[in-house]
Structure 1
Amino acid sequence: MFLPISFIFSFLFSSTNAADFCVGDLNGPVGPAGYSCKKTATEDDFSFSGLLRTAGNTSNLVKAAITPAFSTQFPGVNGLGISIARLDLAVGGVIPMHTHPRASELILVMDGTLFAGFISSDNKVYSKSLNEGDIMIFPQGLLHFQINTGKTQSVAFVSFNSADPGVQILDFALFTNDLPTDIIEGTTFLDAAQIKKLKGVLGGTG
């Protein structure tokens, strides 16, 4: 049985692009699968202008800045399994040991020199000095870091296979909350005085 041409054309042109993408509705709830979809998308939802051209503010404790283009900042990547961010590190700047629970990461150094690495689940260290044009990958969920070991500002772009990779910074997880000092001491073997000092620097209590 053949379908009439008029029916085929009617079906094709009545179909919507709803299944092609899901631009995030930032006014709606967000869950593990991301944001719900906006009813109407525009060209502006699929471009992200300006912010990644601008250097981040590195006048902070770690001398580094991260400018993300994740689903919260760039709703067009919602549901697509991709995102990007800019890293700026002053001389001596560091992105502390951290993990991304929902994504693997690829870093591309644009300017300067970075020493970067990750630690596998069997506690083996994979580290490398990276220069302009070099790339490195960090597998999902593994602790990793970047340090500017050069004599000039460093700039890099990092991409993720998630619109919302998530992040947990090890030092902040331990020392910026009210987890009791004796618990941290017992589980990390750090000296109590050092723990209290780090809590004082990073804002933790207990």
Structure 2
Amino acid sequence: MAGELFPFLHLLVLLLLTSAGFSDPDPTQDFCIPNTGSTPVDLTQLATYPCKNPTNTSADDFIFSGARSPGKFSKETGFSGLSVTTSLFPALHTLGMSFARADFEPGGVNPPHYHPRATETALVVEGIVYSGFVDSGGRIFAKVITVGEVMVFPKAMVHFQMNVGKSPAVIFGSFNSENPGVVRIPATVFGAGIKEGLLEKAFGLSKEELERLQRKFGPKEGEI
């Protein structure tokens, strides 16, 4: 009996050891600022960049000042979002984290979206925000939160935010990935070029309604 089990146990051990190697390795050095010269960091090519020589780094390399004020607001949503990943802040490389600043005009919304590679925590630093996510079973978890409160959005869960106060609102989000990615639901569904017949049946839309949504969420002139 023991002889019959040995091949099975041997295979099981091999599978366990192999699967253990699938997780991200821990950093082998204190930090690795991509040495790109004067060119911006290309997130798709991070692994090809050498690390900047630590003797040539200074405190300035580890400071980002671009989140002091909001970016440009969308006229349609009243929302401004700044995603701070390695492309803007190279010192984040290999540290497994990034962050974002989100600003809302009164009534402004951050439309449903998700981050395929990260869990997010969202801290309200100003205003009153209706915040929530929907799990894979279709259950919604949502609540109005205010200054000092934090909500967590589990990895790859669709989530959203809306300023329900009468003054501007500000949120700072943090991610457990240096490149969390973002999939915006309206633009992905109606602006990516999915076959019209499929969308008409899936959402019960008329051709005219679908064309209106495609114009609204499709790429604008000059955009890629």
Structure-2-length-normalised TM-score: 0.76
Count of aligned positions: 188
Query: 2: distance between equivalents of 1:24 and 1:153?
Result: 36
Deviation at residue 57 of structure 1 after TM alignment: 2.1
Query: 2: distance between equivalents of 1:35 and 1:156?
Result: 34
1:55 is aligned to 2:60: no
What value does the CA root-mean-square deviation take over the aligned residues? 2.3
1:39 is aligned to 2:39: no
Query: 2: distance between equivalents of 1:121 and 1:159?
Result: 22
Indicate the larger mover: 133-142 or 187-196: 187-196
1:90 is aligned to 2:105: yes
1:72 is aligned to 2:87: yes
Query: Which of the numbers 154, 167, 171 marks the counterpart of 1:139?
Result: 154
Query: 2: distance between equivalents of 1:34 and 1:71?
Result: 12
Deviation at residue 104 of structure 1 after TM alignment: 0.3
Structure-1-length-normalised TM-score: 0.82
Does the C-alpha gap of structure 1 residues 38 and 119 become closer, same or farther in structure 2, counting only changes over 3 Å? same
Deviation at residue 38 of structure 1 after TM alignment: 2.9
Deviation at residue 55 of structure 1 after TM alignment: 2.0
1:29-57 deviations in whole A, cap 9, x for unaligned? 544976634332522221101x2111222
* Matched residue type, 2:68: R
Does the C-alpha gap of structure 1 residues 35 and 76 become closer, same or farther in structure 2, counting only changes over 3 Å? farther
Query: Which of the numbers 162, 181, 190 marks the counterpart of 1:175?
Result: 190
Partner of 2:180: 165
Query: 2: distance between equivalents of 1:35 and 1:131?
Result: 43
Deviation at residue 60 of structure 1 after TM alignment: 2.3
* Matched residue type, 1:22: C
1:86-115 deviations in whole A, cap 9, x for unaligned? 100111111110010000000000111110
Partner of 1:22: 32
Any idea what SS the aligned residue of 1:109 has? strand
Q: Percent of aligned positions with the same letter in both sequences?
A: 33
Partners of 1:89 and 1:154 within 8 A in 2: yes
Unaligned residue ranges in structure 1 (runs of 5+): 1-16
Any idea what SS the aligned residue of 1:151 has? coil
* Matched residue type, 1:199: Q
- Structure with the higher fraction of residues in helix conformation: 2
